[in-house]
Amino acid sequence: MTKSENKMRLPRIILEIVVLLLSLLAIGVLVQHRMNELLHTSLEHSIAKTSKHICGVVAERMTRELAMLRQTAESLSSIPEEADGKFISMQRNLPTGVTIGWMRLDGSAIYGEALWRERFSDFPLVFRGNEVISYRAGHGLIFAVPVLGHGNVQSVIWRLFDDTVLEDVFGLSEHGEAFLFLQERNSYSLPRDILSAEELTFLETPAIADGYDTVRDQLALQKSAAVLVDSSLGKHFLFGVNLAGSECVIMGHLPYAAVVGDISRIYDLLIKVGALVLGLFAMVSIWLIVMHSRAEQNEILSREKSLHTESMNSKSTFLAGVSHDIRTPINVIMGMNEMILRKTSDAEIISYAHGARRAGESLIALVDDVFDLTYMESSGFRITEKPYRTVSLISDAVTMIKPEAIHKGLHFILDVDRSLPRELVGDCLRIQQIAVNLLSNAVKYTEKGHVTFRVAYEPLDRERITFIIEVRDTGIGIHEDDRSKLFHSFQRLDPMKNRHIDGTGLGLVITSELVQRMQGRIDVKSVYGQGSVFTVRLPQKIVDVEPIASKGKRPPLFQKVTGSLEAEGAHVLVVDDNELNLLLTRHLLERTKMHVDTCLSGQEALEKLAAKPYDVVLLDYMMPMLDGAETLRRARVLPNCRKTPFIAFTADATEESRKRLLAEGFADLLTKPVDGAKLEAMLARFVSGASGRTQLQPMHEPVLDEVELDISLGLDASAGSREIYQELASMFVKQNDEKKRALENAFLLKDWREYAVLVHALKSSAISVGGRGLARIVEKLENATRELTQQNLSPESEETFLTSVYAHHETLMRYCDELAKRLTEFVDKDPSSRENQNPE
């Protein structure tokens, strides 16, 4: 939802801003347009008004002209005797462009030109006794007055002004930049003779002509009119005014600039300021929109954050589920594999099973790493501090790593400060994890040489020490440049070179994260190609300051945690919804000789618990229907199991779930996949306490010890001299590869004679260094090959012996290596710690 919102937001902001800008622009344009329109309308109005004044001036002059003519007419009629002379003198003094005439009513002239009555539109009115002013383009402006006698029209006098003189006589040219001309009302004819070409062009421009038509239309119903016309010749105001008392109009035009002039500059200023104000407004609005959307975004972010927190919790729940789901099948695989290892004696199958076990283990490690890392990133991760014994911490780590190192042919050197306080406070499991991570890394990246595990301390104050774990190897080392990448997720250095090394690359990340959580420090020193030293320093509180190696009664460093439990008669109930798990657990517990009951559901378990008392109950935590917690709660009510310890099987290995389980009443918990040793150790705690019928027995040396290195036998062979034994041992080690190569050659060439000689020699040297196992197998091979060298061997027996050789050759090779490793260890050992490492 939030993502789509995010995607929606940007276009929305843009849309909002665009809409805003467009509306502002539209308003701006509209305001400007409206202002111009108003300006023009107002100018049109004012020009129309002004043109009335112009008309007034012109009309004034015309009235004067008419009055003069009227006077003449009166004088003509009052003294008829002098009329002729008077008129003739008038005629003589006429300015150019002006003519006068005196005519009878029938149209004949008394003096001057005989005018056709219809030449001017209003002219006939004078014959009815009315005074007339009339204009006709090309003919001029005529003033006519009747000569009256006794109320009757006797004759008519007129005065005609040519177009050419009109301008001057009536002041048509005296109005600034305005151009004025007379026109008959409702007529389009122009005084072409007097108009300049320029003026004619102007008046005949279509837009201008149309403009004058508009003026004419308006003049039909109003005194004066003006319009603004935008033509190819620029903007002009055209105007017209009706000339009262005659059928003519005064038309005119003015250039726009002449009228608007400075006003337009003021308007420009107003418009510019307006635009700026609008722009400012737009910016403020945009700012507001952006702020608004930012606030919205913050809100969404905080909502997302809280969702994230929620999801982290659900993530950890989810991880627990996934972890459980992955561990359960691995558990079964590992368990089945364990059964194969126990049940078979076939060396080949055993080696395959070993492979499977290693793969399973690394798969679990992988799941653990991933889970640890994600878990640490969640808020639920806590460092749980409680008292622990330093010795068991160290021994656990060594137990886990040492076999691996040895198996790889490395020297594993343990260097523990004997004055280390016996008991400290801290997260024992996490510190162990750190140590194991560092150690297993060292083993992984070291091809030969040694891995040294040093445990020391520095006093910090009275109550605290700095606990130092140092892992030193002779491995490939780390480039200077790569050191910064070391503690980053999924970084594997030198991937080409290290591709054969398994692991997620998460180990160091987890380690460094853990160290930081414990307020510690991790340092790396390394020389590429020579090895690395990882040093972890953790502040820890002291509980028991007593050194681990004091009072002579030192606790065995290598306690056999994998002790075999035998508790005949103890009753155990195992509850799990997975049948394979049940089968596996049952098999794992077989050799403890306990009485094991199994059932597939909580309900079934409750029935069994009600039927008989159990010493201990192993209960799967996650089951359908009745889960572990509910089953336990119900079981506690039963009389038989008020105090019966319940151990939870869970795939959820977090500290959090551990706490929860303990709070729910479980005695302890076992994480899946169930490991036989851990299971036995766990049961030992509860069963022994309950019945006292169990005893811890030393367990046989695990698989690695099949070479049965017997140092006393070796010492015997060296006449009790340790030096001689060491000498022999190192010689065995040195010659080992060479001998093996020779054997391999003989084997491949099927040179059984040679092979027999070689194994015979090997037999003696094996006995001299105390390698009983090797000696035994060598003996078998010696016998077999000796038979093969016989001349008359039946095909059947040949096959038998060959099979035997084939079956044992690989074992022999492995045994040689194992023995060499063990001896190397022995030889390299510091005499003081040698004892510690080999308590037997």
Q: With contact defined as beta carbons under 8 Å apart, do 189 and 137 qualify?
A: yes
Q: Which residues in the 622-651 window bind other proteins by CB under 8 A?
A: none
**Taking contact as CB under 8 A, which single stretch among the options 127-135, 197-205, 374-382, 493-501 is the one that binds other proteins?**
127-135
Distance CA 178, CA 180 (A): 6
CB of 271 to other proteins, least distance (A): 14
Distance CA 71, CA 85 (A): 16
- The total of other beta-carbon atoms located within 10 Å of residue 776's CB is 15
Asked if 31 interacts with other proteins (CB under 8 A), we say yes
Q: Give the burial class of 638: count Cβ atoms within 10 A of its Cβ; 0-12 exposed, 13-18 middle, 19 or more buried.
A: middle
3-state class (DSSP) for residue 552: coil
Q: Kindly write down the DSSP assignment for every residue of 383-402, as one continuous string.
A: ---EEEEHHHHHHHHHHHHH
Of residues 127 and 143, the one with the C-beta less far from other proteins: 127
Q: Which residues in the 36-65 window bind other proteins by CB under 8 A?
A: 38, 41-42, 45
Q: With contact defined as beta carbons under 8 Å apart, do 130 and 121 qualify?
A: no
Beta carbons within 8 Å of 104's beta carbon, 6+ residues apart:
110, 155, 156
CB of 58 to other proteins, least distance (A): 15
Of these, 95, 96, 116, 151, which contacts other proteins (CB under 8 A)?
A: 151
The DSSP 8-state label assigned to residue 493 in this structure reads: S
Of residues 146 and 252, the one with the C-beta less far from other proteins: 146
**Taking contact as CB under 8 A, which single stretch among the options 143-151, 251-259, 330-338, 487-495 is the one that binds other proteins?**
143-151
- The total of other beta-carbon atoms located within 10 Å of residue 831's CB is 7
**Taking contact as CB under 8 A, which single stretch among the options 25-33, 458-466, 784-792, 815-823 is the one that binds other proteins?**
25-33
The number of residues that bind other proteins (CB under 8 A) is: 37
Asked if 222 interacts with other proteins (CB under 8 A), we say yes
CB of 57 to other proteins, least distance (A): 16
Of residues 37 and 463, the one with the C-beta less far from other proteins: 37
Q: Nearest-5° angle of CA 609, CA 654, CA 368? A: 110
**Taking contact as CB under 8 A, which single stretch among the options 144-152, 400-408, 576-584, 634-642 is the one that binds other proteins?**
144-152
Of residues 106 and 461, the one with the C-beta less far from other proteins: 106
CB of 98 to other proteins, least distance (A): 25
Q: Give the burial class of 490: count Cβ atoms within 10 A of its Cβ; 0-12 exposed, 13-18 middle, 19 or more buried.
A: exposed
CB of 159 to other proteins, least distance (A): 19
**Taking contact as CB under 8 A, which single stretch among the options 237-245, 331-339, 462-470, 581-589 is the one that binds other proteins?**
237-245
Asked if 291 interacts with other proteins (CB under 8 A), we say no
Q: Which residues in the 582-621 window bind other proteins by CB under 8 A?
A: none
CB of 24 to other proteins, least distance (A): 9
Find the length of the chain.
840
Distance CA 818, CA 462 (A): 47
Q: With contact defined as beta carbons under 8 Å apart, do 583 and 416 qualify?
A: no
Q: With contact defined as beta carbons under 8 Å apart, do 466 and 539 qualify?
A: yes
Residue in 708, 729, 826, 701 with CA at minimum distance from that of residue 776: 708
Residue in 522, 524, 551, 554 with CA at minimum distance from that of residue 536: 522
Asked if 299 interacts with other proteins (CB under 8 A), we say yes
- The total of other beta-carbon atoms located within 10 Å of residue 422's CB is 17
CB of 291 to other proteins, least distance (A): 13
Of residues 145 and 769, the one with the C-beta less far from other proteins: 145
Q: Are strands 571-575 and 595-599 parallel, antiparallel or unpaired?
A: parallel
**Taking contact as CB under 8 A, which single stretch among the options 214-222, 353-361, 400-408, 583-591 is the one that binds other proteins?**
214-222
One-letter amino acid of 429: L
CB of 115 to other proteins, least distance (A): 13
Of residues 149 and 555, the one with the C-beta less far from other proteins: 149
CB of 154 to other proteins, least distance (A): 5
Residues in contact with other proteins by CB under 8 A are 23, 27, 30-31, 34, 38, 41-42, 45, 104-106, 117-118, 124, 127-130, 146, 148-149, 151-154, 219-223, 242, 244-245, 299, 302-303
